[in-house]
Amino acid sequence: MKSSGQTERPPLPALVSRFLEMMAAERGAARNSIAAYGRDLADYVSALARSGSTPQTASTDHIRSYLAGIEAEGLSRRTAARRLSAIRQFHAFLQSEGFTGHDPAQIVESPKQQRVLPEVLSADEISAIVRTAAGEAEAAEGKQAFKAWRLHALVSLLAATGLRVSELLGLSRRQLAAEQEFLTVRGKGGRERMVPVSPDAREVLNRYLGFLATRGEQSKAAFPSHGKSGMLSRQHFALELKALAARAGIAADRISPHVLRHGFATRLLDHGADLRAVQQMLGHADISTTQVYTHVQASRLTRAVEDFHPLARGKGQAKTR
């Protein structure tokens, strides 16, 4: 079965509408999530109709055929997995509400995801970026001093805490000043967590806060900007970070705020940190998300063995006589 390519969708089927109402009222799903569920399920129900079926009469084979159609159209496995999640919840709802006596989605296998290991900079490369930011902040004068100190504080804090860029840029000055050893951060889903701040990063933050005070900065945002939102945007920070990396001798296409987050997690695990502790500091709801960094470690160890071990790839083998 092929999914619909129409840009104008007909009104949602009644059962889909009832499911979306339940998701909003009982589970508090966000508006964007509700819209995504609606699009995915409308496409699924349309595909069922083309095959002569309905949500009440759909079988496991119907669902598998639909997923095969998605793959044939070239949609990603991530998209297929997202649609299957919506389909599973939809059919579970239909069964629980008595609209059907069976759940055909329960035993459908999830599409296997291709694992993409995150890019990670070396500790020396991250240190070079932080040192460059520090040197520029110390040397900057006039109007450039504010931007230089702001970037120095941003990079130091991100490298030391592994915050998500949205969490970092959304911090207030009050949050930065509240505790010396920790930051209280509100992450995805409104979940709060405490993130330790290293002494070096705290020294930078204290100097930055002092700079803001002497400058007479009135904004409540920790990293203010003259933009409409009053705080530095993700796009602007990413551009500033890439330019800083280039000045530190590191290719700009290798760096992003998320790469520094990856580096933070990988360094913790390299030094023996517990996986659960890393999960809590990163704010991952599921530990499987954190486990990707163990694969990064394994990949790096494999390369180290191949490059340096005397017996790898025939190195050091006894010569034939």
The Cα 224–Cα 217 span in angstroms is 9
For the stretch 208-234, pLDDT in tens is 999 999 888 888 999 999 877 888 998
The number of C-alpha atoms within 13 Å of 278 and in the hemisphere containing its C-beta is 23
Here the tokens at position 235 are: 């796009």
Active site residue 102: no
The Cα 225–Cα 38 span in angstroms is 37
For the stretch 181-193, pLDDT in tens is 999 888 877 788 8
Catalytic site residue from 2, 102, 147, 284: 284
Catalytic site residue from 242, 258, 267, 300: 258
Active site residue 267: no
Q: Which domains are seen in the chain, by residue range? A: 14-96 (1.10.150.130), 123-306 (1.10.443.10)
**Cross-strand partners of 186:** 192
Helices within 140-184 (DSSP H only): 143-161, 165-169, 173-178
Diameter of the chain measured on Cα atoms:
81
The Cα 66–Cα 54 span in angstroms is 13
Catalytic site residue from 261, 271, 295, 313: 261
**What residues have CB less than 8 Å from 286, skipping those under 6 apart?**
none
Contact by Cβ (8 Å): 37, 29: yes
The Cα 210–Cα 258 span in angstroms is 28
Position 266 scores a pLDDT of 83
Quick one: how far is CA 147 from the chain centroid? 26
Active site residue 254: no
Active site residue 284: yes
The Cα 136–Cα 122 span in angstroms is 22
The Cα 197–Cα 214 span in angstroms is 24
Active site residue 37: no
For the stretch 96-122, pLDDT in tens is 999 999 999 988 887 765 555 556 788
Catalytic site residue from 78, 188, 254, 315: 188
Average pLDDT over residues 80-107: 92
Contact by Cβ (8 Å): 220, 226: no
Catalytic site residue from 91, 164, 173, 262: 164
Number of residues assigned to the chain: 321
Active site residue 188: yes
Banded pLDDT at 321 (limits 50, 70, 90)? very low
Helix or strand or coil: residue 19?
A: helix
Here the tokens at position 62 are: 């119907």
The Cα 208–Cα 147 span in angstroms is 11
